[in-house]
């Protein structure tokens, strides 16, 4: 951002200075500063509020409810029981049941469920449930609510498992699937586990970084897909296996294809560029966001945090990658509302392209 992306920074500052000076609250000030910084048309930048004090978190049961039923009658009819969530672990709740009460408080349109579960994380609660709206066969079920982060993680893993099953189905069992939600150390560890658990036995793997919000491990993740085999080892009583895997080095050694979209950000874009530059396979979906700089957080005197650019990223041709989305080889845009149909056109296309590549390799 050497030339402020063409913005006259001094002029921008003069425009916003009186507005910021007239801000009535810290939040209003921060909103104005973010608008000012937005004039630079650069990613990752912005101001954030100081960390707030701990509130009273609401416990989560791992349940989803019928919105139309609630708006019509105020009743909570269960539409989903999250795998490995508090409700699922009890083994006593199912889709179609009604949640009638929590710790003796009846649930209706005037009662907020989150308020009833406030401060209940990790503490046993009694749920009154029934298979009928009138509660004629109500029964008590004990559950241990979890925090929002835990429920979010379980929801994500359920989505991954469902998507992996979708890939297995549309590829007739030939392909595996992995997804990285970000480029953190935890996601890298999960990538290792997912590849070990299911995908080594497949002919190829769909690698998905759609909606990945970045991080810093792109080079380590790429290593898994770039390493090539050189020996095969067979442990007595076991099938032959690549030497790298037997010796403990993470290596897939299978054909892959990459899925991206406009919400693949930052280090996910670095990963995409590496995948393309190293010619690991085709990229399917939508071009990435073009948010490709590294920033560091600076604390301001009021406790706010401000992100400053400190490192630019260039591809091998020398092009600055900021504001330059990484392209795709096979463009595919998902139709609006497709997620409600149980289909995924981007995955369908990726599966078709990867199987075509694998079959062509066999003929050669």
Q: What is the pLDDT of residues 114-129, one digit of tens each?
A: 999 999 999 999 999 9
The helix/strand/coil state of 148 is helix
Helix (H) or strand (E) segment spanning residue 161: helix 148-170
The helix/strand/coil state of 76 is strand
Distance of CA 36 to the CA centre of its chain: 29
Looking at CATH, the fold of the domain delimited by 63-146 is given as Pdz3 Domain (2.30.42)
Return the pLDDT at 239.
Answer: 80
User: Which two tokens mark 265?
Assistant: 């950000």
Distance of CA 219 to the CA centre of its chain: 19
**1 has pLDDT over 60:** no
User: d(Cα 274, Cα 254) in Å, to the nearest integer?
Assistant: 17
Lookup result for tokens 């090539």: 228
Return the pLDDT at 189.
Answer: 94
DSSP state of 137: T
User: d(Cα 262, Cα 171) in Å, to the nearest integer?
Assistant: 25
Say what the pTM is. Answer: 0.88
Q: Which CATH number fits domain 150-294+312-363: 1.25.40.340, 3.30.1300.10, 3.90.226.10, 3.30.1600.10?
A: 3.90.226.10
pLDDT digits (tens, 9 = 90+) for 182-198: 999 999 999 999 988 77
Alpha-carbon torsion (206, 209, 211, 217), positive or negative: positive
**364 has pLDDT over 70:** no
**133 has pLDDT over 90:** no
Domain coordinates in residue numbering, the chain: 4-41, 63-146, 150-294+312-363
Question: pLDDT grade, residue 61 (50/70/90)?
Answer: very high
pLDDT digits (tens, 9 = 90+) for 101-116: 999 999 888 889 999 9
pLDDT digits (tens, 9 = 90+) for 13-55: 999 999 999 999 999 999 999 999 999 988 999 999 998 777 7
Percent of the chain topping pLDDT 70: 99
Neighbours of 305 (CB within 10 A): 14
Angle at 360 between CA 355 and CA 363, to 5 degrees: 130
φ/ψ region of 210 (left if φ > 0, alpha if ψ in -120 to 50, else beta) reads beta
**2 has pLDDT over 80:** no
The helix/strand/coil state of 226 is helix
Average pLDDT of every residue of the chain: 92
Report H helices in 83-179.
86-90, 113-116, 148-170
**142 has pLDDT over 60:** yes
């Amino acid at each position: 951002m050497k030339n402020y992306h063409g913005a006259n920074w001094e002029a921008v500052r003069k425009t916003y200075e009186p507005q910021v000076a007239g801000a009535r609250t810290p939040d209003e000030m921060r909103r104005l500063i973010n608008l000012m910084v937005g004039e630079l048309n650069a990613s990752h930048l912005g101001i954030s509020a100081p960390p707030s004090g701990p509130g009273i978190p609401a416990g989560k049961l791992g349940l989803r409810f019928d919105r139309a039923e609630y708006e019509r009658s105020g009743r909570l009819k269960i539409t989903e029981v999250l795998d490995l969530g508090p409700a699922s672990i009890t083994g006593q709740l199912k889709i179609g049941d009604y949640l009638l009460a929590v710790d003796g408080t009846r649930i209706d349109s005037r009662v907020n469920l989150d308020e009833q579960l406030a401060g209940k994380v990790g503490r046993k609660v009694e749920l009154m449930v029934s298979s009928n709206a009138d509660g004629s066969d109500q029964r008590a079920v004990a559950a241990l609510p979890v925090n929002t982060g835990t429920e979010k993680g379980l929801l994500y893993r359920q989505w991954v498992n469902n998507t992996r099953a979708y890939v297995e189905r549309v590829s007739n069992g030939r392909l595996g699937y992995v997804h990285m939600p970000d480029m953190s150390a935890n996601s890298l560890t999960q990538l290792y586990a997912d590849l070990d658990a299911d995908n080594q036995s497949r002919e190829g793997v769909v690698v998905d970084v759609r909606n990945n919000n970045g991080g810093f491990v792109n080079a380590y993740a790429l290593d898994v897909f770039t390493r090539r085999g050189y020996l095969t080892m067979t442990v007595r009583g076991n099938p032959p296996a690549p030497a790298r895997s037997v010796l403990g080095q993470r290596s897939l050694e299978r054909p892959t294809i990459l899925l991206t979209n406009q919400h693949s950000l930052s280090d996910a874009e670095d990963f995409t560029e590496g995948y393309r530059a190293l010619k690991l396979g085709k990229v399917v979906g939508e071009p990435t966001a073009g948010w490709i700089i590294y920033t560091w957080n600076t604390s301001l005197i009021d406790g706010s945090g401000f992100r400053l650019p400190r490192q630019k990223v260039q591809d091998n041709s020398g092009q600055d990658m900021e504001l330059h989305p990484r392209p795709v080889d096979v463009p595919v845009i998902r139709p609006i509302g497709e997620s409600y149909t149980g289909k995924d056109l981007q995955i369908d296309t990726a599966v078709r392209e990867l199987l075509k590549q694998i079959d062509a390799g066999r003929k050669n």
